[in-house]
Structure 1
Amino acid sequence: MNNFLKRMNYYYDKVLDEIDAGVHVVDEGGNTVIYNRKMAEIEGMAKAEVLYKNLHDVFSFEHNEESRLLEAVEKGIKIENAKQSYYNNQGLEITTVNHTLPIFFENERIGAMEIARDITRLEKLIRENRQQREETRFTFQSIIGHSPAITEVIEASKRATRTDSSILIIGDTGTGKELFAQSIHNASERAHKPFISQNCAAIPDNLIEGLLFGTKKGAFTGAIERPGLFEEAEGGTLLLDEINSLNIHLQAKLLRVLQEKKVRRVGDTRDRSFNVRIIATINEDPIDAITNGHLRKDLYYRLGVVSLSIPPLKERREDIEELVYHFIHKYNEKFAMGVKDIDSSLLSNLFHYEWPGNVRELEHLIEGAMNLIEYEESITYHHLPFHYRHRLQSQPFLKKEKVFDHPVDSNKQEHIGHTLNDYLTKAERHFIQQALIRNQHHITNTAKELGMSRQNLQYRIKKHRLT
């Protein structure tokens, strides 16, 4: 008999853990007695953190809300397809749609059970979209650069603001495609209406259809009545970022929606008309995307009524200096700093770099450098994040910073205008660095050669960032 019970318990545990829904059961005192693997995944906790513990000791709820499980236990009520947000023991927010009901044994209420579907990610995406709608701040004045390559695209984009035609923006990652999309929206007659952006690569296929088109209550387990992005963007602009990441079958549904200008929520039978301008972006050549099966040809023709190609940074190098000083100004304000300049030899190196991450990569480099500045007013090679120092040094055509070769050569014109403190700081740094190289970075031997203590040397190594 004991062996039979063991086998039955094994079957029971195995079935519970394979169910693709969270299962949570509490006794009449609100203590967890059953908690399956899926529920643990949804709530981001180990079973041991929840089993046999009271719900109040593990979870917290906002605005004096009560756990639906405890409501079912205490009031004996059944709650179907209800959304609830709460926090686990680490403060992580969780949102689920639950089917909750009391459990009776011989007419006595002995607990409650809950079957949960996770919609945490979907709720986060919806909040992000609403936040983006409030932060649509970029205009054409926000686009930095006066090179012929970027000026041509700006002029074409301004002309596109006069109509409602679909736009396809083509460009590598980091070139500023969304900046152009927001600028077009804000310069158009739709500027006072919503601008909603959705990255098609950011969400799984099983969520994006409901997010785009909306859902009807009861369409699937946990589905609630919710408008999609087409409805939320009514009268405004919907940006579909990285359209080539969208499932090819979903692209066919999207094409139908664009052609008919009507959207049908998932699980619904009613079509809803919409008035939305579509802007899509793609981070590869559209012809390559079609050839590789990433983009439907008919969808390309529908979206590419107006096509804008954003040049990579390596094709507009004359804009690099202006961008650098723009980002210095931006992070001066953000970090309350007073950086005024960038070393001329470093700037020259930046002109020759290939910039695979484009303008976004340049911005991150300046931000990273300014995080390493203490009191200096100029960004130098030594302020760059380590991986950039290595990457720039590995480029054979780049000049190395002059401080390594002749930091104290009094005949060099580069020292004119520098303060004595700047001059002495460079000299000290170079002197210590050469001693470290000679001693293969052995601290004791280097300190002995320089006639100073290990502590003093380590302080100066840290000061000059020679590690």
Structure 2
Amino acid sequence: MLRRYVEQLLNVYNYIDGILVTDKNGYIEYFVTYRPDVNRLKEKNILHKHVTEIYPGLTNKTSSLMRVLETGEAILNEYQTLVTYNGQSIRAINTTMPIKENNKIIGAVDVSRYIDLPYSRQNITLKSREDAEIGGLYTVDDIITSSQCMELVKEKIPRVANTDSSVLIYGETGTGKELVAQSLHTSGKRRNKKFISQNCAAIPGNLLESILFGTTKGSYTGAENKPGLFEIANGGTLFLDEINSMEISVQAKILKAIEEKQVCRLGSFTPIKTDLKIISAVNERPAQCVESGKLREDLFYRLSVVQINVPPLRDRINDLFFLVSYFIKQYNGFLDKEIIGIDEEVEELFKEYAWPGNVRELKNIIEGAFNVASSRFIQKRDLPEYITNPLMLNQEKFVSAPLNVSALAEGKGLNKALEEFEKTIISDAIESSISLVEAAKKLDITKQTLNYKLKKYGIK
């Protein structure tokens, strides 16, 4: 609730560097800094902690926030030098005001203008030659996370980046496999060489073969002397995405090229030596790809010398609002807007949603909301309908089954009738299954979505 007052505050103050909101007892409910180069505190590390815990040098008498909470009177343009719990010193001019509801103090808000050297505000940064040569690719620092499982992925990347061993990345669609692949490249000894990426899905075998290995003039009608990706990426990294969608005949030739470290262009018998780090990715479990015949077993073993599994967003839900803040900051820059967060109703919707499209889906939803938002906070009305009404995704599955119209006859309306029908289907699935995993599979939904619906309908 307190964060809603932030929007009103921003309508008064056109230029601020940071905002901190506490409840009536001094515990932090909201924090944002627009100058992370000056204030490196992160909301995830300080949320719900007392202001004197974050700034150990402050007491209830010296903290402007605690004084305002006690007196109910605003403090304007007070100069402060604050030292954070991790030793960072911040000089700022602060204005602190009480937040009141029905004449009772329910919290306080502190807005800051940081005092720094004049040229710092020009955002002048000097890039090293090495950084420039990376060419705008992602690095391991671009992997935004606060979850342990993704931190383990980040720790693993630098350890394997400098070797020539092939790496197989497994992750559902939208989890960020290319981000991991680029980070492997930019963290290793080949970072100043080329990084070439190719999605292998839905490309006919003959065409993909010419793309990968190149062609010689006359090898087929219209063919010209042209290098393939193995040649172009020579000395660097070649990333083959969705390799489980590649035709088996091409997989055999890729295995040969990797094993022999050389390729021949189509129509040529002259071998071309290659020196590459091969990174590949699949969007289905590798063992299942092999069992179903989508991936050659011998190629799997060759590609998966090191395997990195990228967990889906539903398994690292701690990252959800961390990523929301990151994308909001990103699109504020892209679209020249000043949105500062999501409201409480959207928070609850995001917590309950199963995120089948993972991080990519979240990013697209935030971008879509930016296009229609009329407030400083993203609201429920700014979201796509399939998020705000989960039944939308399941209605097509109900068409073939007879709908009990008693709810309609009783005047409960279509939504109530659909809810009762969905509850019946879920109950039947639970009764006919030996586990929630099996029931979720029958219903073609994730286990997290099933748990949400069980809680929603009170099904035990």
Which category describes the TM-score, using the shorter chain as reference length?
A: 0.5 to 0.7
Letter in 2 for 1:301: Y
Written as runs of structure 1 = structure 2, the 5 A alignment for 1:222-371 is 222-371=222-371
Residue 465 (structure 1) aligns with: none
Deviations 1:239-263 (A, max 9, x none): 0000001100110111000000010
- 5+ long unaligned stretches in structure 2: 1-132, 395-413, 415-460
Residue 190 (structure 2) aligns with: 190
Deviations 1:249-285 (A, max 9, x none): 1101110000000100001011110111100000001
Report deviation, 1:346: 1.3
Deviations 1:332-364 (A, max 9, x none): 111000001111231122122111100000101
Query: 1: distance between equivalents of 2:364 and 2:305?
Result: 34
SS in 2 for 1:256: helix
Contact 2:353 2:387 in 1 (8 A): no
Residue 154 (structure 1) aligns with: 154
Contact 2:134 2:192 in 1 (8 A): no
Query: 1: distance between equivalents of 2:145 and 2:390?
Result: 25
Deviations 1:9-63 (A, max 9, x none): xxxxxxxxxxxxxxxxxxxxxxxxxxxxxxxxxxxxxxxxxxxxxxxxxxxxxxx
Letter in 1 for 2:208: I
Deviations 1:305-336 (A, max 9, x none): 00000000000001101000101111111100
Q: Are residues 156 and 173 of structure 1, via their aligned partners in 2, closer, same or farther at CA, if it must alter by over 3 Å? A: same
Letter in 2 for 1:314: R
Report deviation, 1:393: 8.2
Residue 380 (structure 1) aligns with: 379
Contact 2:233 2:276 in 1 (8 A): yes
Letter in 2 for 1:253: K
Contact 2:238 2:276 in 1 (8 A): yes
Query: 1: distance between equivalents of 2:156 and 2:297?
Result: 24
Query: 2: distance between equivalents of 1:392 and 1:377?
Result: 29
Letter in 1 for 2:157: S
Q: Are residues 261 and 273 of structure 1, via their aligned partners in 2, closer, same or farther at CA, if it must alter by over 3 Å? A: same
Q: Are residues 177 and 193 of structure 1, via their aligned partners in 2, closer, same or farther at CA, if it must alter by over 3 Å? A: same
Query: 2: distance between equivalents of 1:311 and 1:380?
Result: 28
Contact 1:353 1:392 in 2 (8 A): no
Report deviation, 1:135: 5.7
Letter in 2 for 1:373: A
Query: 2: distance between equivalents of 1:266 and 1:181?
Result: 28
Percent same amino acid at aligned positions?
Answer: 46
Q: Are residues 363 and 227 of structure 1, via their aligned partners in 2, closer, same or farther at CA, if it must alter by over 3 Å? A: same
Report deviation, 1:154: 1.1
Deviations 1:183-229 (A, max 9, x none): 11011110110000000014222211000000011001111000000
Written as runs of structure 1 = structure 2, the 5 A alignment for 1:128-207 is 136-207=136-207
Query: 1: distance between equivalents of 2:288 and 2:342?
Result: 39
Q: Are residues 206 and 181 of structure 1, via their aligned partners in 2, closer, same or farther at CA, if it must alter by over 3 Å? A: same
Tell me whether 150-159 or 221-230 shows the greater mean CA deviation: 150-159
Tell me the TM-score normalized by structure 1: 0.55
Residue 21 (structure 1) aligns with: none
SS in 2 for 1:153: helix
Deviations 1:68-110 (A, max 9, x none): xxxxxxxxxxxxxxxxxxxxxxxxxxxxxxxxxxxxxxxxxxx
Query: 1: distance between equivalents of 2:231 and 2:165?
Result: 18
Report deviation, 1:146: 1.5
Query: 2: distance between equivalents of 1:394 and 1:174?
Result: 19
Q: CA RMSD in A?
A: 2.3
Tell me the TM-score normalized by structure 2: 0.56
Residue 66 (structure 2) aligns with: none
Contact 2:340 2:376 in 1 (8 A): yes
Query: 2: distance between equivalents of 1:361 and 1:282?
Result: 18
Query: 2: distance between equivalents of 1:251 and 1:144?
Result: 33
Q: Which runs of 4+ in 1 moved over 3 A?
A: 133-136, 392-395
Report deviation, 1:181: 0.4
Deviations 1:269-302 (A, max 9, x none): 1111011110000000111001111000000000
SS in 1 for 2:192: coil
